């Protein structure tokens, strides 16, 4: 992976827009308007040979006419012009280009990459929405709105989800550090951006929308490094066959085995969420609740129905409710009516005045055994929600990461919800959403523990140096340039490395069947010959033989094939091995182990082993 010149991409000092236009509805006009409407302080240049000025702003005819080299160029020109413009900009000194243009063919993308490579110029896109860096006031996109500055980065293969995230975060007062639409990611990809954002001081957490990953090893390396520094949350689309098909048509790449991604994300210390709604919940969780380390939850409410919903959600999500400590229960007895629930959930009764909310909340926050607190209120005519929220603010101060708020209702509690948000308290629409957010945070912490796990040290093995020397001396004495399978196994055994059980037998079906009976089916059958190095290329290997009839047929067919293809080859016999086939996913993130001829779909019956260096 490479983060070279990504600073020019995400934090440029100057920007040029190619295809800048005044034509309403065009990409060039929208990008030009967004860039100039923001608070970006650096020079902004428009380039278009068809214009001399747009709304009184001078437009340049070509690159060579620009008064200075732009750090970043945004290309909104026809697909056929992209490779030549990339070459021109690279020679001029620009080191980052965003290709917003759609419709580049595979050959066009390769041509653009070839033009960029000699100049180490980085390409984002093509076919992307662009990017935003709110801290710089930079809106280098054709998104319909700008972003608030914050500390959450969002990287997405879908431009539509970038615009959805923009709208959702603005409506809730949540800020973002960077938003990047990858598009077809012919150069800059998830691995590059994870590596850069992991060390970005303005980014405290990273969100990803993923449909496919073309460089899994690079992604896993970057993801593990980033997840050690800050939370990484992933929506991986394409769980179902139809979803995979839709992802392939969208990005032009295979989505890959969903179980593979699930295992990889978990082992890399990231958190996978299942929906766009969950991703939005995760944004709030990371912004306002990420510092929480509690495992149990205390539910406080003025309504029994809300308490039941929250308790049911906790049971579904396997979230424990904190048992009431004796001292805490005694304190609550002194604060609440005799009819209170005397258990968790803590029902403070529907007629609760403001003081009862404040005193109950303060009691829970003063007792660490209460864990995190889910504060819920259903509107009543007895007291206004805004008065409750305002009175609770002093008690919340210093405990924001322990409290989640659920103000049930709409306009009647809008002002109360706003006060909690302004106090940096996580706000959720329903009890179920709040409990789910808490469960996600617990899952994230478990994944982080997996990331930091290291294998236990095995027993110290002392190699049998004498056996190694004898094996190699014999091979040299025989004039061999490579080791046959029995010698290779013996050599590995001398170093304490186990291999699959194997028997060397004569070149007959009867001998092979006898060895297989002792080893157990399924077996692999391989020819033993000093004249055949690459056995599979000449039909000298048969895998996954399930029973004796299949083995006998394979033995006879193998001998006949070799006599026909290599009549002069010396045949020493067969090697019969216990078979334990590996299935390697095309995305090459993991290896699945399974019995031949069986497909085990139940997740409890499938072992996923993530391998970063297959």
Reference 98, options 34, 23, 22, 168; nearest CA is 34
* Cβ atoms 160, 34 nearer than 8 A: no
Read off the DSSP letter of residue 455.
Answer: P
Query: How many degrees, rounded to 5, is the angle at CA 34 between CA 32 and CA 35?
Result: 65
Q: How many CB atoms lie within 10 A of CB 396?
A: 23
Q: Is 311 left (phi over 0), alpha (psi -120 to 50) or beta?
A: alpha
Residues in the chain: 614
Amino acid 250: pLDDT: 43
Q: Is the dihedral of CA 25, 28, 34, 36 positive or negative?
A: negative
Burial class (CB in 10 A: 0-12, 13-18, 19+), 590: buried
SS3 120: coil
Report residue 174's pLDDT band, with 50, 70 and 90 as the boundaries.
confident
Using pLDDT thresholds of 50, 70 and 90, give the confidence band for residue 239: low
Name the DSSP letter for residue 116. H
- Confidence category of residue 286, pLDDT binned at 50, 70, 90: confident
Across the chain, what does the average pLDDT equal? 89
Residue 54 token pair: 């747009």
- pLDDT at position 488 over 80: yes
- As annotated, the residues of the chain forming the CATH 3.40.50.261 domain(s) are 294-452
Angstrom distance (rounded) from CA 420 to CA 172: 12
User: Does 214 score more than 80 pLDDT?
Assistant: yes
304-316 vs 431-452: helix axis angle to the nearest 10? 30
Task: Compute CA distances 483 → 14, 265, 475, 490, 532, whole Å.
Answer: 61, 39, 7, 10, 12
Statement: residue 612 has pLDDT above 50: no
User: pLDDT band at 457, cuts 50/70/90?
Assistant: low
Q: What are phi and psi of 590, to 5 degrees?
A: -140, 175
pLDDT in tens, 371-421: 999 999 999 999 999 999 999 999 999 999 999 999 999 999 999 999 999
Q: What is the pLDDT of residue 446?
A: 92
Identity of the highest mean pLDDT range in 131-135, 241-245, 583-587: 131-135
Q: How confident is the model at residue 580 (pLDDT cuts 50, 70, 90)?
A: low
DSSP 382-420: SS-HHHHHHHHHHHHTT-GGGEEEEE-SSGGGHHHHHHH
Do the Cβ atoms of 543 and 492 come closer than 8 Å? no
Percentage of the chain lying above the pLDDT 90 cut: 75
Least confident of 242-246, 309-313, 554-558: 242-246
* Mean pLDDT, residues 295-304 taken together: 96
Check whether 595 has a pLDDT greater than 60.
no
Q: In this predicted structure, what is the pLDDT of residue 593?
A: 37
Answer whether residue 493 shows pLDDT above 80: yes
What pLDDT is recorded for position 245? 53
Q: 102: helix, coil or strand?
A: coil
Q: Is the pLDDT of residue 66 over 50?
A: yes
Architecture of domain 294-452 in this structure: 3-Layer(aba) Sandwich (3.40)
Per-residue pLDDT at 589 exceeds 60: no
Rounded Cα distance between 151 and 148, Å, is: 10
Residue 340 has pLDDT above 90, yes or no: yes
Q: Is the pLDDT confidence value at 96 over 70?
A: yes
The phi, psi pair for 99, rounded to 5°, reads: -100, 100
320: which DSSP letter?
P
Q: What is the dihedral of CA 190, 193, 198, 201, to 10 degrees?
A: -150
Question: From the centroid of its chain, how far is CA 273?
Answer: 9
Q: Is 145 helix (H, G, I), strand (E, B) or coil?
A: coil
Angle at Cα 441 formed by Cα 435 and Cα 443, nearest 5°? 105
pTM for this entry: 0.71
Residue pLDDT, tens place only, 322-336: 999 999 999 999 999
Task: From 230, 172, 204, 133, select the one nearest 424 (Cα to Cα).
Answer: 172
Looking at the chain, the whole-number percentage of residues with pLDDT higher than 70 is 90
Using alpha carbons, select from 360, 369, 329 the residue that is nearest to residue 349.
Answer: 360
| pLDDT at 458 exceeding the cut of 80 | no
Report whether 121 contacts 146 (CB < 8 A).
no
pLDDT digits (tens, 9 = 90+) for 416-445: 999 999 999 999 999 999 999 999 999 999
Residue with tokens 């805490």: 328
Helices within 11-156 (DSSP H only): 27-37, 82-92, 106-116
């Amino acid at each position: 992976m490479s983060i070279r010149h990504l600073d020019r991409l995400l934090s440029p000092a100057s920007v040029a827009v190619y295809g800048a236009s005044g034509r309403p509805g065009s990409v060039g006009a929208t990008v030009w308007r967004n860039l100039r409407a923001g608070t970006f302080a650096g020079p902004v240049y428009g380039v278009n040979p068809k214009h001399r000025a747009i709304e009184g702003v001078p437009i340049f005819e070509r690159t060579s006419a620009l008064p200075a080299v732009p750090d970043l160029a945004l290309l909104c020109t026809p697909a056929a012009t992209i490779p030549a413009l990339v070459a021109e900009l690279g020679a001029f000194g620009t080191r980052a280009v965003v290709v917003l243009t759609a419709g580049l063919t595979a050959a066009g993308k390769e041509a653009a990459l070839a033009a960029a490579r000699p100049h180490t110029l980085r390409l984002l896109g093509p076919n992307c929405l662009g990017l935003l860096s709110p801290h710089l006031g930079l809106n280098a996109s054709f998104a319909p709105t700008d972003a608030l500055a914050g500390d959450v980065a969002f990287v997405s293969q879908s431009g539509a989800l970038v615009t959805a995230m923009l709208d959702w975060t603005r409506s809730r007062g949540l800020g973002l550090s960077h938003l990047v639409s990858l598009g077809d990611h012919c150069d800059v990809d998830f691995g590059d951006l994870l590596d850069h954002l992991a060390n970005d001081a303005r980014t405290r957490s990273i969100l990803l929308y993923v449909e496919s990953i073309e460089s899994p090893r690079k992604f896993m390396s970057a993801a593990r490094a980033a997840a050690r520094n800050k939370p990484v949350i992933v929506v991986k689309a394409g769980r179902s066959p139809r979803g995979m098909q839709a992802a392939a048509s969208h990005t032009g790449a295979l989505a890959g085995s969903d179980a593979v991604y699930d295992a990889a994300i978990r082992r890399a210390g990231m958190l996978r969420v299942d929906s766009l709604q969950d991703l939005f919940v995760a944004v709030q969780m990371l912004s306002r609740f990420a510092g929480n380390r509690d495992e149990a939850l205390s539910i406080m409410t003025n309504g029994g129905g809300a308490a039941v919903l929250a308790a049911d959600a906790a049971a579904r999500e396997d979230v424990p409710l904190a048992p009431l400590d004796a001292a805490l229960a005694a304190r609550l007895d002194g604060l609440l009516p005799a009819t209170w629930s005397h258990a968790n959930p803590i029902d403070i009764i529907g007629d609760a005045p403001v003081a009862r909310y404040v005193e109950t909340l303060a009691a829970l926050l003063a007792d660490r055994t209460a864990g995190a607190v889910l504060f819920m209120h259903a509107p009543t005519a007895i007291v206004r929600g805004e008065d409750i929220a305002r009175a609770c603010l002093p008690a919340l101060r210093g405990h924001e990461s322990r409290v989640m708020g659920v103000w049930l209702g709409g306009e009647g509690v809008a002002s109360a919800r706003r006060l909690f948000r302004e106090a940096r308290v996580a706000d959720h629409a329903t009890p179920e959403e709040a409990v789910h957010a808490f469960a996600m945070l617990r899952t994230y912490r478990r994944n982080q523990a997996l990331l930091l796990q290291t294998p236990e040290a095995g027993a110290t093995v002392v190699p049998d140096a004498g056996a190694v020397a004898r094996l190699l001396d014999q091979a040299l004495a025989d004039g061999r340039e490579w080791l046959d399978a029995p010698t290779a196994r013996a050599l590995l055994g001398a170093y304490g490395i186990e291999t699959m059980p194997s028997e060397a037998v004569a070149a007959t079906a009867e001998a092979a069947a006898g060895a297989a009976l002792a080893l157990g089916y399924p077996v692999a059958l391989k020819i033993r010959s000093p004249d055949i190095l690459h056995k599979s290329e000449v039909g000298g290997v048969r895998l996954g033989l399930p029973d004796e009839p299949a083995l006998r047929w394979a033995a006879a067919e193998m001998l006949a094939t070799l006599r026909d293809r290599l009549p002069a080859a010396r045949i020493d016999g067969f090697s019969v091995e216990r078979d334990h086939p590996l299935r390697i996913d095309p995305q090459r993130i993991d290896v699945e182990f399974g019995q031949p001829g069986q497909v085990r779909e139940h997740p409890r019956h499938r072992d996923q082993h993530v391998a970063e260096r297959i």
